[in-house]
Each structure stands twice: as structure tokens, then as C-alpha cells.
């Protein structure tokens, strides 16, 4: 579904990603871990098409198409969904209106009829149950004054509504209390199918108790320096990153 080959990216002339290689197949969950500043959020942002980042080398193929050539909105229409580390607030636009517009744009792109108000509301009700989100929240301006946890929950709700092919969750666990963590993870797990895939960026093994990854990758200095199964996340929890840093840094000398 997604092939990243030798991806290099810079911000304001500073190289951050220095040769990322990753293959994600349909049905898989990949976790990206790594020390602060290793480039995890940069990778998520580059995949979503954020303009501040300049791709200097490499390619990203998503379902046979060159992802990097696509405008961010086309990436979304093609089925890429990014849940940001810090979701934006949009005053004056309710979550409901935002979602209806977004969903109908995706449907139009896929050649489907737009959903009328009745069908849209019944879909909303069904998906609201999945993330146990309060209807009152959805009638408020998007993310405005939402608590950290409410923003995250709202994002997973958006994901449930849009049914993306590839979801990229950037530190979805930060700011969630234990119950919300479980609910959000349940939502993600229930949306999992053999037709979609998820990349989860996280610092904590804790999240991976709920969203069980097929693969865990460690990013360091802009490269994936180690990959393994969920046992790797347990090892990192126990041992930290120093042993990996030493391995990489001594090999580079």
C-alpha cells in the first residue's frame, strides 16, 4: 500500500529525514518510536504534505501513485488521514459541518453520491458510539476550547467517519487519560481491516498494549535504525534508547 524509498526531507535548509525506507501493506499496523527530535513528526508531516518541509530525495508510492506529487487535499481524498499531534482550532466551523464537507468531498472524488443530512446524521450516530464522543462537542466550533483529550477523541471520530485507507496517528496518546486511551484505541482497532493500514507514532509502549502493532520501528537521526515486532517496544520500555544510539553512533564512526 505504501512504499517509502530513501526519503530525505529538510526544513529551512536543515536536513531532518536522512533516508527513510518503509513498506506498509494493507491490514498492517506499524508503530514508529524514537527519541525526541529524531524526525517522527517530520515523517508524518511529509506524508501528509505539509508545505514547510522540502523533500530533497527519495520517493513515496501510495497505492501505485506518487504521493509526493499530490496536493495535500488530494492525498486526503485518496485516503490518507493524519491525526496531528496538536489538532488545530477552527472558530466558527462546527465539527459537524466540517465533517460533512470533508466526507462529501471524499465521496465526490470516489465517484459516490453526497450523503444527505439524514444519512449523514445516522452515520454520525453510528460512529459516535465507537469513540464514545458527546454530541454536544460536535455542535461546537471545531476543536475550539476542546480539552487535549477531547481533541484527540474528536480526531479518531473524524477518522471513523472518513474511513481512510492509510491513517497516520501522531502521538495520539499524549494528553489522554487512561479511559480515553482505551476508548480511542478501541476505536482504532475496530476500524482496522484487511483493506487499510495504520502508522502510529508514539513514545509509550503503553499505547501499544491497546493498539497492537505488527511492526515497531525506531527512528534516530532521521533514519529507521531498528525494526522488530511488538517485543521491540517492550525492550525499549525496559532499556531506553541509549543502546540503540550507541550501536548507530559507533557504526558511523
Q: Which is nearer to ligand ATP, 36 or 250 (CB)?
A: 36
* Distance in Å, CB of 129 to ligand ATP, minimum: 32
Grid cell digits, residue 157: 471520530
Q: How far is the CB of 174 from ligand ATP (least distance, A)?
A: 9
Confirm or reject binding of residue 41 to ligand ATP (CB under 6 A). Answer: yes
Does residue 194 bind ligand ATP (CB under 6 A)? no
Q: Using CB under 6 A, which of the segments 38-46, 92-100, 139-147, 237-245 binds ligand ATP?
A: 38-46
Size of the site for ligand ATP (CB under 6 A): 12
Residue whose CB is less far from ligand ATP, 16 or 244: 16
> Where does this chain touch ligand ATP (CB under 6 A) — which range of 6-14, 95-103, 117-125, 160-168?
6-14
| Per-residue cell: 108 | 465526490
8 binds ligand ATP (CB under 6 A): no
Applying CB under 6 A, which of residues 1, 4, 9, 16 lies at the interface with ligand ATP? 16
String of DSSP letters for the chain: -EEEEEEEEEETTEEEEEEEEEEE-TT-EEEEE-STTSSHHHHHHHHHT-TTEEEEEEEEEETTEEGGGS-HHHHHHHTEEEE-SSPPPEEEEEHHHHHHHHHHHHHHHTTPPPPPHHHHHHHHHHHHHHHT--HHHHHSEETTT--HHHHHHHHHHHHHHH--SEEEEESTTTT--HHHHHHHHHHHHHH--TT-EEEEE-S-HHHHHHS--SEEEEEETTEEEEEE-HHHHHHHHHH-SHHHHHHHHHHH-
> Is the Cα dihedral 225, 231, 234, 239 positive or negative?
negative
Q: Cell 476508548 belongs to which residue?
A: 183
Q: Which of 23, 37, 65, 121 binds ligand ATP (CB under 6 A)?
A: 37
Q: Which of 3, 5, 11, 210 binds ligand ATP (CB under 6 A)?
A: 11
Choose the binding region for ligand ATP from 11-19, 88-96, 110-118, 127-135 (rule: CB under 6 A).
11-19
Q: Indicate the residue among 39 and 58 with the shorter CB distance to ligand ATP.
A: 39
Q: Of the candidates 4, 39, 99, 184, which one interacts with ligand ATP according to CB under 6 A? A: 39
Q: In the complex, which residues of this chain contact ligand ATP (CB under 6 A)? A: 11-12, 14, 16, 34, 36-42
Amino acid at each position: 500500500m505504501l512504499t517509502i524509498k530513501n526519503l530525505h526531507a529538510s526544513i529551512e535548509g536543515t536536513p531532518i529525514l536522512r533516508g527513510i525506507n518503509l513498506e506498509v501493506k494493507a491490514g498492517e499496523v506499524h508503530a514508529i518510536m524514537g527519541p525526541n527530535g529524531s524526525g517522527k513528526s517530520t515523517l508524518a508531516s511529509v506524508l501528509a504534505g505539509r508545505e514547510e518541509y522540502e523533500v530533497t530525495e527519495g520517493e513515496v508510492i501510495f497505492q501505485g501513485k506518487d504521493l509526493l506529487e499530490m496536493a495535500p487535499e488530494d492525498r486526503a481524498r485518496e485516503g490518507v488521514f493524519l491525526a496531528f499531534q496538536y489538532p488545530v482550532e477552527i472558530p466558527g466551523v462546527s465539527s459537524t459541518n466540517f465533517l460533512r464537507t470533508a466526507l462529501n468531498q471524499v465521496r465526490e472524488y470516489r465517484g459516490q453520491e453526497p450523503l444527505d443530512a439524514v444519512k449523514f446524521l445516522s452515520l454520525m450516530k453510528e460512529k459516535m458510539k465507537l469513540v464514545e464522543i458527546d454530541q454536544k462537542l460536535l455542535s461546537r466550533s471545531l476543536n475550539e476550547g476542546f480539552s487535549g483529550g477531547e481533541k484527540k477523541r474528536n480526531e479518531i471520530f473524524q477518522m471513523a467517519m472518513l474511513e481512510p485507507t492509510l491513517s497516520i496517528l501522531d502521538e495520539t496518546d499524549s494528553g489522554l487519560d487512561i479511559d480515553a486511551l482505551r476508548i480511542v484505541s478501541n476505536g482504532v482497532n475496530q476500524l482496522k481491516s484487511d483493506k487499510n493500514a495504520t502508522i502510529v507514532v508514539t513514545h509509550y509502549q503503553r499505547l501499544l498494549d491497546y493498539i497492537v502493532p505488527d511492526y515497531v520501528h525506531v527512528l534516530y537521526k532521521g533514519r529507521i535504525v531498528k525494526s522488530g515486532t511488538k517485543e521491540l517496544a517492550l525492550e525499549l520500555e525496559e532499556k531506553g534508547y541509549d543502546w540503540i544510539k550507541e550501536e548507530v553512533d559507533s557504526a558511523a564512526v
